[in-house]
Amino acid sequence: MIDPGDTGDQGAPLAGLRVIAVEQFGAGPFGSLLLADLGAEVIKVEDPGAGGDVARSVPPGAADGHSLYFEAFNRGKRSIALDLTNDAGREVFSRLVATADAVFNNLRGDLPERFGLTYATLGAINPGIVCVSLSAYGREGPRRAEPGYDALVQAEAGWASLTGEPGAPPARSGLPLADYAAGLIAACGLLTGVIAAGRTGRGRDVDTSLFDTALAMLSYPATWRLSADIETRRQPLSAHPTVVPFQFFATADGYIAVACAKEKFFQALAEALELPELLADPRFATFAARHEYRAELLARLGARFAEQPTAAWLVLLKGRVPCAPVREFPEAADAETLAARGMLAAYDHPVLGAVRSVGVPLRVSGYTPHYRASSDLGADTEDLLAELGYDEADAGRLAGAGAFGED
C-alpha cells in the first residue's frame, strides 16, 4: 500500500459541507460522489413516485432497490424520498435547504426553475445557498428543454468523429466520459460557489451542461481549428495527431503504448530499438519533420515492435521511454492493483454483499476515506426529519399529506 506520508488524522476535508442532491443516473451522481468520498454529507432526494433513482434498477445485479450500477455512483450518500410537486414535500425540502450549503441537480435544463431549485427561489430561504444545475444543454437557450445523454453528446460535440480507426464508423468512448467530466465540472462549480459564499455570505446559481463540458474538452484541436483552420483527423492505432511517435504499436502478442513527447524520448527509443539510422535521418530529426514523414517512420517502428512480445519491449523501454502495455479491462480492474494504489473502495452491502469498486483518486494528507454502502430509498427520512425538528406527529401529518409519496 502507498503511504503518502501520514500527518495524523485531521478529519475529512469536506466535513461539515451539506449538499442536497436532486439527481439520478450518471453525471450528477458521479460529481456528488467525489464530494461524499471527501467527507461531505450528500443527501440524495429521490422521487418516491418513480421508485427513486432509475439507476437502482439498472442491471446487472439489481435486487430489492439496489444495483451495482447504483452503488458505483451513490455509496456513502443518505436518501430521503420526497415528492417535490407536493406542498408537504416542498415544506420538508425547504427546511433541508435552510440547513444546507448547496443544492445540486442534474435535471433537464428547464426543470430547475419549474421545481424551484434556483437561487431566485431558494435564496429567500437560505441567502448563502449555492444552486448548481447540470443538464444536457444548460438552463438557458432554445435547447434547455431537451434531454440528453453521454452518447448523444459525444456524437454532437465531435468526440466520436475523433475516435476510432480512420475509415471506420465514428466511435463513442468505451466509458461515458462526457458524463464523468461534466459531473466533475459541476462538483468544481459547487465548491467554487461555496467558497465564494463563505467569503460574501451570499450564494448564487452555478450552471453547466454535458454539451458545454464536452466542447471544452475539445481543447487543443478546437484551438487549432478556430485559430488556424487546421482540421484534426483520426490516426491509426490511437495516434496523436501531430506528435510522432505517440500511439499504440502492435507487438508479437498484443499492443504497447509509446509516448515520445520530448526529443530525448525519441532518441532513447531509437537507441533502445537498435535503429540508430533513424537518428541520422533528417526526415526524423524534429517534431515537425517526424509529423511530415509520419508514414515512413511508423512503418520502420511498427516492423520492429512486431518482432517481440509486449513484455520484452517493456523490459527494454521502461525507465527510458514513456510506455505502457495495452491491457484488457479485467487486468486493469484488478483488486490487488487497485489496493496497491490505495484506490480500492471495499465494503459490505446488506443486499449486494461484498462490494469492490474504485475509490477517490485524491490523496489528502491526514485523511483516509471510509467507504460505506448507499442507503435504501428513503432510509434516512426519519432521521432527517428529526434533525430538522419534526416530531412523530409532524411526520404523520407530512406522510398523510403525501410528502413522501403515496403509501
Predicted confidence (pLDDT) per residue in 234-253, tens digit: 999 999 999 999 999 999 99
Cα separation of 399 and 385, whole Å? 11
Q: What is the mean pLDDT of residues 379-397?
A: 97
Is 80 exceeded by the pLDDT of residue 3?
no
CATH number (3.30.1540.10, 3.30.70.100, 2.40.30.10, 3.40.50.300) of 237-250+255-325 reads 3.30.1540.10
Is 70 exceeded by the pLDDT of residue 39?
yes
Q: How far is CA 2 from CA 200, 207, 364, in A?
A: 39, 37, 13
**Quick one: CA torsion of 306, 308, 309, 313, rounded to 10 degrees?**
-100
Residue 307: band (very low, low, confident or very high) from pLDDT cuts 50, 70, 90? very high
Q: What is the mean pLDDT of residues 14-32?
A: 97
* Crossing angle for the helix pair 27-37 and 177-200, to the nearest 10 degrees: 50
Q: What is the pLDDT of residue 1?
A: 26
Residue 10: band (very low, low, confident or very high) from pLDDT cuts 50, 70, 90? confident
Q: What is the pLDDT of residue 5?
A: 43
**Quick one: CA torsion of 113, 117, 118, 123, rounded to 10 degrees?**
140
Q: What is the pLDDT of residue 6?
A: 42
Q: What is the mean pLDDT of residues 392-402?
A: 96
Least confident of 4-18, 52-66, 172-186, 310-324: 4-18
pLDDT tens-digit series, residues 325-363: 999 999 999 999 899 999 999 999 999 999 999 999 999
Which three three-digit cell numbers place residue 370?
471510509
Q: Which residue out of 37, 53, 179, 207 is catalytically annotated?
A: 179
Cα separation of 72 and 378, whole Å? 18
Q: Give percent above pLDDT 90 in the chain.
A: 95
Comma-separated ranges of CATH 3.30.1540.10 domains in the chain:
237-250+255-325
pLDDT tens-digit series, residues 261-280: 999 999 999 999 999 999 99
Q: What is the pLDDT of residue 222?
A: 97
Q: Domain 18-217+336-400 carries which CATH code?
A: 3.40.50.10540
Q: What is the mean pLDDT of residues 52-74?
A: 94
Which three three-digit cell numbers place residue 213?
463540458
Closest CA to 260 of 234, 236, 286, 232: 286
Q: What is the mean pLDDT of residues 254-263?
A: 98
Cα separation of 349 and 67, whole Å? 11
Please say whether the beta carbons of 91 and 117 come within 8 A: no
Please say whether the beta carbons of 139 and 109 come within 8 A: yes
Residue 407: band (very low, low, confident or very high) from pLDDT cuts 50, 70, 90? low
Q: What is the pLDDT of residue 406?
A: 80
Comma-separated ranges of CATH 3.40.50.10540 domains in the chain:
18-217+336-400
Max intra-chain CA distance, the chain = 86
CB atoms within 10 A of CB 317: 19
Q: What is the pLDDT of residue 45?
A: 98
Q: Is 205 a catalytic residue?
A: no
Mean of the per-residue pLDDT values of the chain: 95
Is 70 exceeded by the pLDDT of residue 80?
yes
For CA atoms 29, 45, 407, 351, the dihedral sign is: positive
Q: How far is CA 337 from CA 330, 346, 370, in A?
A: 11, 13, 19
Q: What is the pLDDT of residue 9?
A: 53
